[in-house]
């Protein structure tokens, strides 16, 4: 059931170690080698907001939604048939459209085979990530059609942007996963983008990544490319790629989505199931109602994986947004969804399925104060709520419409801070440091105590971007803001970037596969 169990013994085919080395960065700001990990193992408690009774009410409402309202399925009779066999009450409401009501407990029964945690393997085994339990994985933002930076403003994303952003991700020790559609490469035909995107992840990163979900055949191509990279047998036995699927809220799963879900599950690959709940538009605007709906929708999508292949790795998802009451625009990084994210963590743990939740959300159009205020509100809730896979951990601006180069490096620095945060601290004789105070006594600085000398390199996270200098030094150095420093930093990181080595035979095989696909398919632009 659990892909993690035999991960230590297996290694993917022909992989070499990545080249990122720390010694180059000695002396530059942002070095915290003691905090670098392939993924976070959370050592702090979760912030459990609601009591048992309240959680049960939300769960009961989710079950009631499934039993009394049901979920609509479109254009995928196979998925409908899977649910019918499992006990779902199916009504065809119009051609190729079915409403399924699920008897109480049925969906939870389906989910009993879902692993509590699993490992997503990376081509560099040092970058394998555990998803579930106390593990926490940060991945960049996903799905923006636009990119922006301070020099060139906002424009449609291209494959060059896509590659640049993968490189920025790879160069940060504070992300653990390469993400997926890091921006839309709009200069590539819609039906061929996935090939170049998956290739860019493989080529420019040696971490795990997300494959395509925009069509079942693109999902299949993503998995085929992973088979070339990892070997067919390895892929059948291990999770090496995941698909990030959206429910068509409220309460609809369209055929492209459900077919894609089945494609990943059939190949024993991971999938994430995320209702995008914009309160007042596609969900109730009171958080308990949004949570109940989220749970109902995500559980149903998750169940498809288990009916397709019991034990397939699967991730519950939650993406809650509020509404600007004046304009009807979605808002992100606001307090109410932040609280609900904490509760979603509780609900996921009760279900014992890994959770994707929240991220560095913002509606700001610039990497300004609003951007980081909103990001922090949302991201802290992801971490404190114990989410396991945190997509949108870097770059999110403009209500997800734009991937920002500057915000990307701001967010990765914040992700570094959260490595320290998630470590918490141990209370023991050394950290209680009675001797440090006793050594010199009242009124004496502790700069030179043995305790200070012993801990001074690792006590505090060293930020790559924060300016903590006195005002005079800051002024002498140009008096620049964080956005400007971030602009300088991403350019430096791209200049310094070195691709992780890849086996030439595999690389050629991947390129041949892509070329063949491209040659035999006409371009589609929408």
Site string for a second copy, 144-173 (x = CB under 8 A): ----------x-------------------
Closest CA to 119 of 30, 200, 208: 208
| Residue 278 C-beta: closest distance to a second copy, Å | 9
Q: Considering beta carbons, is residue 48 or 503 the nearer one to a second copy?
A: 48
Considering only residues 351-380, where is the footprint of a second copy by CB under 8 A?
A: 363-377, 380
Could you say which of 80, 287, 316, 394 contacts a second copy (CB under 8 A)? 287
Closest CA to 275 of 307, 305, 300, 303: 300
Residue 339 interacts with a second copy (CB under 8 A): yes or no: yes
Considering only residues 378-407, where is the footprint of a second copy by CB under 8 A?
A: 380, 384, 398-399, 401-402
| Separation of alpha carbons 212 and 224, rounded Å | 11
Residue 298 interacts with a second copy (CB under 8 A): yes or no: no
| Residue 256 C-beta: closest distance to a second copy, Å | 15
Could you say which of 94, 445, 520, 526 contacts a second copy (CB under 8 A)? 445
- DSSP single-letter state for residue 116: S
Considering only residues 308-337, where is the footprint of a second copy by CB under 8 A?
A: 322-327, 329-331, 334-336
Residue 303 interacts with a second copy (CB under 8 A): yes or no: no
Residue 342 half-sphere exposure toward CB, CA atoms < 13 A:
15
**Stretches 184-192, 216-224, 261-269, 477-485: which one binds a second copy (CB under 8 A)?**
477-485
Distances (CA, A) of 369 to 380, 407, 481: 16, 11, 10
Q: DSSP readout, 170-238?
A: HH-TT--S--S-SS--TTS-TTTHHHHHHHHHHHH--S--B---SSHHHHHHHHHHHHHHH-HHHHHHS
Read off φ and ψ for residue 407, nearest 5 degrees.
Answer: -60, -35
Kindly state the greatest CA–CA separation across the chain: 83
C-alpha of 377 from chain center: 17
Read off φ and ψ for residue 218, nearest 5 degrees.
Answer: -75, -35
Considering only residues 18-37, where is the footprint of a second copy by CB under 8 A?
A: 29
| Separation of alpha carbons 300 and 287, rounded Å | 20
Considering only residues 41-80, where is the footprint of a second copy by CB under 8 A?
A: 44-45, 47-50, 53-54, 57-58, 61, 64-65, 68-72
Residue 134 interacts with a second copy (CB under 8 A): yes or no: no
Considering only residues 251-270, where is the footprint of a second copy by CB under 8 A?
A: 251-252
Residue 308 half-sphere exposure toward CB, CA atoms < 13 A:
26
Could you say which of 33, 104, 105, 424 contacts a second copy (CB under 8 A)? 424
Distances (CA, A) of 287 to 104, 153, 336, 399: 23, 35, 7, 20
| Residue 159 C-beta: closest distance to a second copy, Å | 22
Residue 468 interacts with a second copy (CB under 8 A): yes or no: yes
| Residue 371 C-beta: closest distance to a second copy, Å | 6
| Residue 137 C-beta: closest distance to a second copy, Å | 19
CB 33 within 8 A of CB 171: no
How many CB atoms are closer than 10 A to CB 455? 15
| Separation of alpha carbons 215 and 362, rounded Å | 28
Residue 279 interacts with a second copy (CB under 8 A): yes or no: yes
Considering only residues 186-225, where is the footprint of a second copy by CB under 8 A?
A: none
Could you say which of 91, 469, 505, 521 contacts a second copy (CB under 8 A)? 469
Could you say which of 455, 499, 501, 503 contacts a second copy (CB under 8 A)? 455
Could you say which of 6, 444, 492, 515 contacts a second copy (CB under 8 A)? 444
| Residue 448 C-beta: closest distance to a second copy, Å | 10
Q: Considering beta carbons, is residue 116 or 446 the nearer one to a second copy?
A: 446
| Residue 227 C-beta: closest distance to a second copy, Å | 36
| Residue 486 C-beta: closest distance to a second copy, Å | 8
Q: Considering beta carbons, is residue 258 or 331 the nearer one to a second copy?
A: 331
CB neighbour list of residue 57: distance below 8 Å, 6 or more residues apart: 288
| Residue 410 C-beta: closest distance to a second copy, Å | 6
| Separation of alpha carbons 69 and 84, rounded Å | 16
Residue 450 interacts with a second copy (CB under 8 A): yes or no: no
User: Which 3 state secondary structure label does DSSP give 159?
Assistant: helix
Could you say which of 267, 292, 301, 303 contacts a second copy (CB under 8 A)? 292
């Amino acid at each position: 059931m659990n892909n993690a169990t035999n991960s230590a013994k297996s290694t993917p085919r022909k992989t070499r170690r990545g080249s990122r080395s720390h010694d180059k960065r000695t002396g530059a700001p942002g070095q915290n080698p003691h905090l670098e990990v392939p993924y976070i193992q959370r050592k702090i408690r979760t912030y459990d907001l609601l009591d048992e009774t309240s959680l049960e009410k939300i769960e009961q409402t989710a079950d009631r939604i499934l039993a009394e309202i049901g979920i609509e399925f479109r254009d995928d009779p196979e998925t409908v048939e899977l649910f019918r066999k499992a006990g779902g009450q199916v009504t065809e409401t119009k051609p190729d459209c079915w409403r399924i009501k699920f008897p109480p407990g049925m969906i939870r029964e389906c989910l009993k085979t879902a692993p509590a945690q699993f490992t997503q393997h990376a081509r560099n085994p040092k970058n394998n990530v555990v998803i579930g339990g106390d593990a926490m994985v940060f991945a960049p933002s996903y799905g923006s059609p636009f990119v922006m930076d301070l020099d060139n403003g906002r424009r449609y994303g291209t494959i060059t942007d896509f590659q640049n952003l993968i490189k920025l991700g790879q160069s940060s020790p504070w992300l653990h996963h390469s993400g997926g559609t890091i921006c839309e490469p709009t200069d590539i035909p819609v039906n061929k983008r996935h090939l170049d995107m998956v290739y860019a992840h493989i080529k420019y990163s040696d971490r795990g990544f997300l494959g395509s979900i925009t069509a079942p055949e693109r999902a299949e191509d993503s998995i085929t490319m992973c088979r070339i990279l990892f070997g067919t047998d390895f892929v059948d036995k291990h999770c090496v790629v995941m698909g990030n699927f959206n429910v068509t809220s409220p309460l609809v799963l369209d055929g492209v989505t459900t077919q894609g879900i089945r494609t990943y599950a059939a190949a024993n690959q991971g999938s994430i199931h995320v209702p995008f709940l914009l309160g007042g538009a596609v969900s109730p605007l009171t958080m308990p109602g949004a949570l109940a709906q989220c749970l109902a929708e995500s559980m149903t999508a998750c169940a498809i994986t288990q009916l397709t292949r019991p034990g397939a790795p699967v991730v519950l998802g939650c993406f809650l947004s509020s509404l600007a009451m004046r304009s009807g625009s979605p808002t992100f990084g606001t307090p109410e969804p932040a609280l609900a994210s904490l509760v979603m963590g509780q609900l996921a743990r009760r279900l014992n399925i890994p959770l994707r939740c929240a991220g560095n959300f913002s509606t700001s159009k610039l990497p300004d104060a609003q951007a980081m205020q909103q990001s922090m509100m949302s991201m802290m809730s992801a971490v404190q709520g114990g989410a396991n896979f945190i997509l949108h951990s870097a770059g999110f601006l403009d209500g997800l419409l734009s991937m920002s180069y500057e915000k990307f490096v701001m967010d990765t620095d914040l992700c570094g801070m959260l490595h320290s945060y998630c470590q918490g601290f141990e209370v023991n004789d050394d950290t209680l440091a009675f001797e440090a105070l006793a050594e010199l006594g009242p009124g004496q600085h502790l700069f030179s105590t043995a305790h200070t000398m012993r801990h001074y390199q690792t006590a505090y996270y060293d930020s790559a971007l924060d300016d903590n200098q006195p005002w005079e030094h800051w002024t002498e150095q140009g008096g620049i803001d964080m956005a400007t420093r971030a602009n300088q930093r991403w350019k430096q990181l791209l200049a310094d970037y070195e691709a992780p080595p890849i086996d030439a035979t595999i690389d050629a095989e991947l390129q041949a596969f892509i070329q063949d696909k491209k040659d035999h398919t006409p371009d589609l632009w929408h």
